[in-house]
Chains A and B, each alone.
Chain A
Amino acid sequence: MGKIKIVHYINQFFAGIGGEEKADFQPEVREEAIGPGMALNAQFKGEAEIVATVICGDSYFGENMEEAKSEVLKMVKKYNPDLFIAGPAFNAGRYGVACGTITDAVQNELGIPALTGMYEENPGADMYKKSVYIVSTKNSAAGMRDAVKKMAPLALKVAKGEEIGSPEQEGYISRGIRKNYFANKRGSERAIDMLVKKLKGEEFLTEYPMPDFDRVEPNAAVKDLSKATIAVVTSGGIVPKGNPDHIESSSASKYGKYDIEGFTNLTSADHETAHGGYDPVYANEDPDRVLPVDVLRDMEKEGKIGKLHRYFYTTVGNGTAVASAKKFAEEIGKELVADGVDAVILTST
């Protein structure tokens, strides 16, 4: 086999084109390795080479998934590579979803071996870990070196069609595939070994992890909207002007609860967004675009809904740990129930 030919996919940020203001950047191909691609190339030590890089803005991909996917597929196909790599996306949600979507499409629609990399809490990981190899990375670009070190060797193996070891050996996120093999010790011995380790408080690796089906049953519908109190909650970071509680623009450690009594409308004079993961221009210009207080007030006046709850709850859903979001919402949910709210509109950017 000659040098392995690779096409690489990255977003507008890692291509150096721009941040959120360029997130609507449409797919474009460049016949060179760019940014993380250069680091990957170095790790391949001549065995493989990135011949082209496809760049696409994260919002463009997220908002036009079908079109973006088919445009990128066309670009990849043109080069007929031996391997396709996307990312790594770390904990960037839209980027992770884009990487997963396109890796899955290249592998399953074009039949080209492919892999990507991201942080395990990236929503793209849950969506695609079963269908493609996703190398487990740290949650920020500070983990680039580590990510590249893990991605490059696995990429070569995948391209060559070599046997891929377990997730622990190779560093990818478990795909939920079970492989039969001959163990040296029989089951009862292995089970006792594990039990002894567990009793000693030592680390042990289960051979049969329980799947995590965390689903919540839908609650009953609202019977009569005209008598219902509706609360609004957002992960879009809308806060009173000046962000009085200093909610962080990413990896938020807290949420805010703010009084909107007397507000018929949110405007740039009184509210803004604290979110650092999308272009804030539109939300700052008119915060109702994220938290529709104006419309809900109208409907309250018209008697279409009973009442708009006096407080709204908000946080920044940008690289925020799942555990934090869960904790915020547990508290928010309890308060809303205690305050007699009947239903919630939750908006996300």
Chain B
Amino acid sequence: MVKEIERAGLPVVHVCTVVPISLTVGANRIVPAIAIPHPLGNPNLEPEEEKSLRRKLVEKALKALETEVEDQTVFED
């Protein structure tokens, strides 16, 4: 899906936990997520902390969309 939306002409950032799958599938901008059942959250944290964790991930995803890439790029910390 990432690839087809990119093909339509939009930059896409893939936020996902299993990065090797994303690389195989062909995503160009990849942000590693927290866990498979809660990619953008962590139920062990207090709600406030959890939201700030999510905010950081979304900021990282947006940063990836602002960054020119020539090839598949994983945006680590």
**Chain A residues engaging chain B, CB cutoff 8 angstroms:** 20, 23, 59, 62-63, 65, 93-94, 97, 123, 126-127, 214-222, 225, 228, 230, 233, 235-236, 278-283, 285-286, 288-292, 294-296, 298-299, 304-305, 315, 317, 325-326, 328-330, 332-334, 336-337, 341-349
Contact = CB atoms under 8 A, between A and B. Distances in A.
A348 B38 contact: no
Nearest to A100: B20
Contacts of A94: 18, 36
Given A296-B58, A333-B4, A347 B16 contact: yes
Contact of A333 (B7, B35, B36, B69): B7
Contacts of A317: 1
A230 B7 CA distance: 17
28 contacts: A20-B37, A63-B35, A65-B20, A94-B18, A97-B20, A123-B21, A127-B21, A216-B26, A217-B28, A218-B6, A218-B28, A218-B29, A219-B10, A221-B11, A222-B65, A283-B37, A292-B57, A294-B54, A296-B58, A332-B4, A333-B7, A337-B8, A341-B10, A344-B10, A344-B12, A344-B13, A345-B58, A348-B22
B9 A337 contact: yes
A290 B16 CA distance: 10
B62 A348 contact: no
B10 A333 contact: yes
B35 A59 contact: yes
Interface residues of B, number: 49
B39 A347 contact: yes
A58 B12 CA distance: 27
A230 B37 CA distance: 23
Nearest to A333: B8
Contacts of A328: 1, 4
Interface string B17-58: 110111011101100010111111101000000010011011
Contact of B37 (A228, A280, A304): A280
Contacts of A294: 51, 54
Contacts of A220: 11, 68
Contact of B40 (A59, A288, A315): A288
A84 B4 CA distance: 37
Given A333-B4, A347-B16, A289 B58 contact: no
A216 B8 CA distance: 10
A123 B62 contact: no
Contacts of B74: none
B40 A290 contact: yes
Given A94-B18, A337-B8, A221 B65 contact: yes
B77 interface: no
Contact of B15 (A342, A343, A347): A347
A208 B69 CA distance: 34
Contacts of A315: 1
Contact of B39 (A305, A330, A349): A349
Nearest to B13: A345
A336 B10 contact: yes
Contact of B36 (A59, A225, A281, A292): A59
Contact of A330 (B8, B13, B18): B8
Given A63-B35, A93-B21, A221-B11, A347 B40 contact: yes
Contact of B43 (A282, A304, A329): A282
